[in-house]
A and B are shown apart, each in its own frame.
Chain A
Amino acid sequence: EIVLTQSPGTLSSSPGERATLSCRASQTISSSQLAWYQQKPGQAPRLLMYGASRRATGIPDRFSGSGSGTDFTLTISRLEPEDFAVYYCQQYGSSLLTFGGGTKVEIK
């Protein structure tokens, strides 16, 4: 089973700042296998990125994803008030899905 480790656990930032979230896989995966989700309190997760760097429909371009091998990054170029939430990475391999433990982006 591929384990995804997200860091930091909590990121304290201010609106307008750049946020960089990390997702590390326990073994090499294809970038196609990596997706990112945003979850706000009391809501279902929302798909942000798939294939590591492809934005889902309707996702603003301040969100970008990158990475390969075992290390992947979600970057929010300029934090908007609505971006403060929890972010999860997810991988798909051998017909199974796993999620990372999440990174909470909170207002400093």
Chain B
Amino acid sequence: QVQLQESGPGLVNPSETLSLTCTVSAYSFSSNYYWDWIRQPPGKGLEWIGNIYHSGSTYYNPSLKSRVTISLDTSKNQFSLKLSSVTAADTAVYYCARGTKWKVPSTYYYYYYLDVWGKGTTVTVSS
């Protein structure tokens, strides 16, 4: 079954760029799934960062859009997150997840849910 694993530095200096990778095992990127990043500051709720489709199309949280880049490397079965100009407010557990989207029959609505998650990786922004 598909598994996701986040990796990257646990400590990032303020004003620098946070870079994380999610490795997807037992799966190919050729099918119709989205690949999402979500974060959770200490003691707080979940915040969606953005996602990427297998075609390479990306969608970002408007509040983070100016600082976020999500990319896909199908040859390595990985997708990545870059968040620039980080501050202490970006300290969080970062999760990668698989997004499943499918059309509700006979409507123009879609289901969308995150059905497989990585275990998360803690990133602290501090000098």
Interface residues of A (CB under 8 A from B): 1, 30, 32-33, 35, 37, 39, 43-47, 50-51, 54, 56-57, 88, 90, 92, 95-102
Contact = CB atoms under 8 A, between A and B. Distances in A.
A35 B51 CA distance: 17
Contacts of B51: 97
A50 B115 CA distance: 10
A50 B45 contact: no
Given A95-B59, A99-B47, 4 more contacts: A33-B109, A47-B115, A88-B45, A92-B111
B115 to A, nearest CB: 5
Contact of B118 (A44, A46, A51, A90): A44
Interface centre among A30, A32, A44 (most CB of B within 10 A): A44
B115 A96 contact: no
A96 B107 CA distance: 19
Given A96-B59, A99-B47, A32 B107 contact: yes
Contacts of B114: 35, 37, 45, 47, 90
A30 B59 contact: no
Interface centre among A32, A97, A99 (most CB of B within 10 A): A97
